[in-house]
Every structure is written in structure tokens, then in C-alpha cells.
Amino acid sequence: MVYQQHRLTIPSNSEYSIPQLRMMIREVETIIARQINIDEWNEL
């Protein structure tokens, strides 16, 4: 996935562990420079 000048690898696992999800969410939050709130998460 590419967002502006950032490149983020999206694994192709069918299921993710909680630590993997947390890591990916933190990476995205860093890239977009804000936290993802619960309403946004629930809309995914």
C-alpha cells in the first residue's frame, strides 16, 4: 500500500494475531499523523 511517500506492506495472512494488528495500526497512525478512533475502526 502506498500513501503519499510512505510504503506499507500488507501481509496476505487470512488471520492476524493481536500483536500483528496493533503493529499495523500503529504504523498507519504514524503515517497519517493521528490516532484511528473506535468509530473509524468499526467502519472497516
**What is the tens place of the pLDDT at every residue in 19-39?**
988 998 899 899 899 999 999
For the residues 1-13, what does the mean pLDDT come to?
79
25 and 44 Cβ atoms separated by less than 8 Å: no
Percentage of the chain modeled with pLDDT above 90 = 25
pTM of the predicted protein model: 0.66
Q: Which residues pair with 6 in a beta bridge?
A: 3
* Residue 2: pLDDT band with limits 50, 70, 90: confident
* Residue 11: pLDDT band with limits 50, 70, 90: confident
CA dist 10 and 31 (Å) reads 14
